[in-house]
Amino acid sequence: MSHKRVAILISGGGSNMVALLDSMRGDHPARPCLVMSNDASAGGLAKAAERGVATAVVDHRPFGGDRAAFEAELIKPLIAAQTDIVCLAGFMRVLTAGFVGQWTGRMLNIHPSLLPKYRGLHTHARALEAGEREHGCTVHEVTPELDEGPILGQARVPVRADDTPERLAARVLVQEHALYPAVLRRFAGGMREPLLMP
């Protein structure tokens, strides 16, 4: 069995990255080939190295505002690792259409809301302010439009009367750690139908 090669992009501690790495074992149709960050101090790099996964850092800061130049460097380790699928896991840089276009149909992201609701930041606070009764997370294909790509999976959590953004975020994160690996397994095996978790 030839496994799909998965690269994961992070900016921080990478709890979703760890969930993905730890899932790619046994009969899983994919294997991790690289964990890369734009921040050399990202805690997730050490966690990846502990698991024997290659790591790389491409710091965005030396490029100033030149996103195309940053992305030209970012893509080199991905190509060198013979990446088939790119997973964004807390990668806090907006990628240009030029970069995303090179990975059309091969790049995934997880977002902490039930898309199409609450694209962008501060999703938990916004859901509470709107009086939502349920909230959750979405795995989607990455397209040039922010948080707009085809939905590959969603998991829902009830909103409780005493919720704060932090409490709600913690419960959603538990679902993220289940949803993202489940969707990646299906995606790597060629399945694009959305996975809806209760």
What pLDDT, on the 0 to 100 scale, is given for residue 198? Answer: 77
Mean pLDDT of all residues belonging to the chain: 96
Q: What is the DSSP letter of 172?
A: H
**Structural domains for the chain:** 4-190 (3.40.50.170)
Taking the model in full, what pTM does it have? 0.96
Pick the closest to residue 4 from 30, 34, 35 (CA basis): 30
Give per-residue pLDDT as tens, 152-189. 999 999 999 999 999 999 999 999 999 999 999 999 99
Give per-residue pLDDT as tens, 29-39. 999 999 999 99
What pLDDT, on the 0 to 100 scale, is given for residue 146? Answer: 86
Pick the closest to residue 32 from 40, 42, 44 (CA basis): 44
Q: Which helix (H) or strand (E) holds 91?
A: none
- For residue 1, pLDDT beyond 80: no
What pLDDT, on the 0 to 100 scale, is given for residue 61? Answer: 95
Give per-residue pLDDT as tens, 128-162. 999 999 999 999 999 999 889 999 999 999 999 99
Q: Is 122 a catalytic residue?
A: no
Give per-residue pLDDT as tens, 4-14. 999 999 999 88
- C-alpha angle with apex 69: 64 to 72, nearest 5 degrees? 145
Catalytic residue among 60, 111, 124, 140: 111
